[in-house]
Each structure stands twice: as C-alpha cells, then as structure tokens.
Amino acid sequence: MSILDDHAFGLGAADEILGGRARRRPHDVTITEAPAIDARHPDVVAHRALRRAVFVDEQGLFPGGAAGDLDGHDHDPRAIVLVARDGAGEVLGGVRLAPVDPDASRPDLGWWTGSRLVVAPTARRRAGVRVGAALVRAACARAEAAGVLRFEAEVQAANETLFARLGWQRLRDTTVAGRPHVRMRRPMGRFADLVAATKAPLGELVAGLAGSGLHVGDDGAPVPGSDLVAACDAILPAMVERDPEWAGWCGVLVNVNDLAAMGAAPTALLDAVGARDASFAHRVLTGLRAAADAYGVPVIGGHTQLEVPASLAVTALGRTASPVPAAGGRTGMEVRLTADLAGTWRPGYTGRQWDSTSTRAPADLRAMVAAIGPDARHRPAAAKDVSMAGVVGTLGMLAEASGTGAVLDVAAVPRPVGATVADWLTCFPGFALLTADAPGAPAPSAGPVTSAVCGVLTDPATGPAGVALRWPDGEVTEAVAGAVTGLGSARISEGNHP
C-alpha cells in the first residue's frame, strides 16, 4: 500500500555559494539516502517515526499497533529511503522507493513505486522550504540512476496538481486505505535519450547517400549485380585509445554481426587503422587479428596511418543470394531475441558493453554468425543485430524499416543474470539478433545461445508508432515514441517480400 502525504509542496532549495564556499542556511534542504531495511539507520528511524506520526496518529490511515504503516517494502533489501533535513539537521520529510514486487527472490524488471512521502508538520508552511517536491524530484533522479523503467505512485487526490507540475502523468482514480488517490506515472526517458544520441540524426545526415528499395535501414548493403553484402563500422576513437586490443576485436565483431543479420556468410575483412606510433598500431591489430582468426574471416587488406589520433574502421564482405532485410516485418509477426547470455560486463564498460565473445570457442562464434546464414534451416522475414541503440532502439529500427510499430514484453526478454533489465535493453551485447517472423516460426539455430519470442510488430495506426513495453500486469508504457532514424520504411511490395 502506498501513501503520499497531501502536504507536499513545490521546488527544493539550493545552497548559496559565497567566496567559493557553501554557507548553510536554516531553510536549505539536504537529502540523504539509506537502505529501507536497515531499521537502525538514523535516516530510516527518522522516516519511520515521521510516517507513524502523520499516517497513523494524524491521518488515521493505519491502525495504531506496533506495525503501524510498515509493509513488505520495508523488508526489501533493494528499497531506498530518502530523508530531507534543513541546515540545522532537523528532519523535514522523507520518501521511499522500491520495486513494486517486494519479494527480492523474484526478478526486478525495473518497475518501481514511490511511496510513504511524508512532510513534517513543522515544515509544511516554512518559508522558502518546499520539501515535498524536493523529495519527489530526488526520488525520480534516484530511480533513473537505479535503472528504473516504470515509476509510479498512488498519490493522495489533493496532491495530483503538484505531481502533474513535476512531470507526472495521471493514469486513473484509485482508493487507498479508504481515501481517494490517483495513480500517477513518471515518464522515464532512458530509451528515448539513447536513440536521440545514437540514431536520430541519421535520416538527415545520410539523405541522398542511403540506398533505396528493400534494404533501407539494413545492417549491410547488398552490392548491385552480385551476391556480395558489404558492411562497414568504425570504433569510437576514445575506445580505441583506451583499450586498443579490445577495439580491434570489436572492429571484427560488429562487422560480422552485421553480416550475420543480413543472412550473409562473412568472407573477408579490410581495416583502416590510425595510431600515434607503431607500438600502438600493433596493439590494435593484435586484437583485430585475434578476432579474425576466431571468426575464421581473413583480413585481405587495409591501411595503417601513424602519428595521427587513434582510430579504427573495418569493412567486411559476405555472400548470400538472398539477403534478409530489416524491412521484411509485417503487423502481427512475432519478435524474437536470440542472444548469447554468457560472459560479463567488459571491465570499464559496466552497463554499456556485454562481453560474451572474447572467451568463446571459435566454433561457437561461427555458429552464431551462421544463425540465419545461407545454409540455415530457416530464415526469418526480417532481422537486425542489436547495435549501440540497444535492444529497444534496434527493435525500433526494424519496425521503422518495416513500416510497423512494436511492443516488447519486458518479462519475456532473455537476459543474463548479471545485468539489470535497463542495462541489458540499452547496452551493446556480444551477440544478439532481433528477428521478426510468422507466429510459430522456428528459432534460429545459433549454437550456445538463448532464444525467445518476446514481442510483436503492431499496426502504427492502431498501436504504438514506435516501441512500447508490455509489463506483467498488462500495462503498456512508451519506450520510443516514433521513428528511430528518420530513414523511413523501405519501399517494398508483395512481389519482393522475402
């Protein structure tokens, strides 16, 4: 049960900086954090005492026994308490945030609730101190930092206006402890922000350069008049500088994955390396050579430039008589994620790069790349490998090319034990392939991977225009509002549908 005090106010106060030093004033607000389960922590003690004073004694929402307003979230080791104090250390209020399901033995899907927001009676009318909203803002920021993807609260009806001003959306009327409440949701922009940073500019940037027809938005480009497919990727210069061997490995990895998503068998690689000296170039090429050997794809040429900033770009060539397009999806097709869940976060890239490939046997790597290749027993209607836009952003690109929307079932997405849902849906994985196909179609045969149907392509006229998330309670929340790249859908007809 969630209770949000109806005495919450607007914005938090900020420290005044004088002469380079912060001078604490009585009405300044400092917010600290503690684990809700730690009943001896001073912040938790203060929050629980204030909750009892307001929700039990003042408002009579809970019985006056020993338990008072305590519930399962108070025993969840993942739950967090935020407590606000003034410059003199007086407790002004607090709030709790936690996963909706307080059973820590079950997976945390990134669906959290804010609750037990309470403001001390002495702080409700204090000039210059707007405690309630300061706590709400702090809770939202903390939820984002924790990777929360769906953040909701049961708000006392008198507080709806305040929460709306703070960016929350009204869902529906509810009743809690016999009092009218409103269920409200705070939009979380993790996916939209990632798409904006990685893919949104593409439509304008490549206007006039992008191909046309069936393969708009694909991971590789079929070479006209041949059975060749070409792919080209550059590694971020900062990554080349920081971890040259890994950058070399990834230069091969991302390109063979692009070919794999096109259903092409990799046949050759070319590299372009920039380095400050020969020693550094050697490190980059060592990683590239190791990956080329592991995947069984020869490096047939390239270019190396010394005494320049670090850089790496790799071009890959593959062969297939019938490339698998990203644009082959149709409304009603099932979305499947086929991913290698082994491995761990790459050191230095926690939450951003999942490394499942550097410790894999060559036979396993080659089986993954051949998942929907020319010799595969079944080839899906559409495919894309998961890129820097993550699972959600990549699904958005597949849907955009296909002229559809998409809904992803959060609980059905295969993910590693060591990754949160938010990180897994936004990271660059070692091998992860999104496919769309008719219901009941077989899974790709990709060696030691996990594959599961976890979504559906939808009609953008009646459903999401971009990508939405479906939760275990049936609620659907927006992840990406519309097109990801701006490249638009491919010009495809029934005659050239795969």
Sorting pLDDT into bands at 50, 70 and 90, what band is 39?
very high
For 226-260, how does the pLDDT look when each residue is reduced to its tens digit (9 = 90+)?
A: 999 999 999 999 999 999 999 999 999 999 999 99
The proportion of the chain whose per-residue pLDDT surpasses 90, expressed as a percent, equals 79
Within this chain, do residues 148 and 229 fall inside the same structural domain, yes or no? no
**114 pairs with which residues across the strands?**
97, 153
Residues 357 and 492 in one domain: yes
Contact 407, 466 (CB under 8 A): no
pLDDT at 212 over 90: no
Average pLDDT over residues 369-394: 96
pLDDT for 205: 84
Say whether both 137 and 79 belong to one domain.
yes
What's the number of domains the chain is made of? 3
Token pair 């709400």 is at which residue? 136
pLDDT category at 496 given cuts 50, 70, 90 is very low
Residue 251 located in a structural domain: yes
Please report which confidence band the pLDDT of residue 130 belongs to, taking 50, 70 and 90 as the band edges. Answer: confident
Shared domain for 205 and 120, answered yes or no, is no
**296 within some domain:** yes
Residue 15 confidence (pLDDT) above 50 = no
Both 469 and 359 in one domain: the answer is yes
- Provide the percentage of residues in the chain whose pLDDT is more than 70: 91
Q: Which domain holds residue 460?
A: 191-209+325-498
**Percent helix / strand / coil, the chain, rounded to 5:** 30, 30, 45
Q: In this predicted structure, what is the pLDDT of residue 203? A: 83
Quote the DSSP letter at residue 77. Answer: T
- 322, 337, 354: which is the final residue of a domain? 322
The CATH number for 227's domain is 3.30.1330.10
Q: How far apart are CA 194 and CA 190, in angstroms?
A: 6
Q: Work out the widest C-alpha separation in the chain, in whole angstroms.
A: 81
CA-closest candidate to residue 336, choices 306, 309, 372: 372
Residues 141 and 271 in one domain: no
Which residues have a Cβ under 8 Å from the Cβ of 357 and sit 6 or more positions away? 249, 253, 294, 340, 343, 365, 430, 431
> What is residue 317's DSSP assignment?
E
Q: 219: which 2 tokens?
A: 């991971």
305 and 377 inside one domain: no
Residue 155 lies in a domain: yes
**Whether residue 26 has pLDDT greater than 70:** no
From the list 94, 176, 105, the residue with the least C-alpha distance to 136 is 94
Residues 131 and 231 grouped into a single domain? no
Read off the pLDDT of residues 476-494 as tens digits, 9 standing for 90 and up.
Answer: 999 999 999 988 888 554 4
Answer whether residue 11 shows pLDDT above 60.
Answer: no
Residues 364, 310 share a domain: no
Report, as an integer, the average pLDDT of 367-396.
Answer: 96
Instruction: Tell me what pLDDT residue 123 has.
Output: 86
Q: What is the pLDDT of residue 436?
A: 98
Domain with residue 153: its CATH number is: 3.40.630.30
* 163 and 24 inside one domain: yes
- The CATH number that applies at residue 471 is 3.90.650.10
Tokens of 157: 């009806």
Question: Of 276, 302, 322, which residue is a domain's last?
Answer: 322
Reported as a single tens digit per residue, the pLDDT across 432-455 is 999 999 999 999 999 999 999 999
DSSP 381: S
Average pLDDT, the chain: 90
Residue 276 shares a structural domain with residue 348: no
**Is residue 214 situated within a structural domain?**
no
Instruction: Judge whether residue 6 has pLDDT over 80.
Output: no
389 and 484 in a single domain? The answer is yes
Question: Exposed/middle/buried for 423, CB within 10 Å: 0-12, 13-18, 19+?
Answer: buried
Query: In the predicted model, is pLDDT for residue 2 greater than 80?
Result: no
Give pLDDT, residue 303. 97
If you count them, how many residues does the chain have? 498
5 part of a folded domain: no
Q: Does residue 284 form part of some domain? A: yes
Tell whether 53 is covered by a domain. Answer: yes
Residue 355, pLDDT above cutoff 60: yes
pTM of the model: 0.90
Query: pLDDT band at 5, cuts 50/70/90?
Result: very low
Where a domain ends, among 306, 322, 338? 322
> Does 400 reside within a domain?
yes
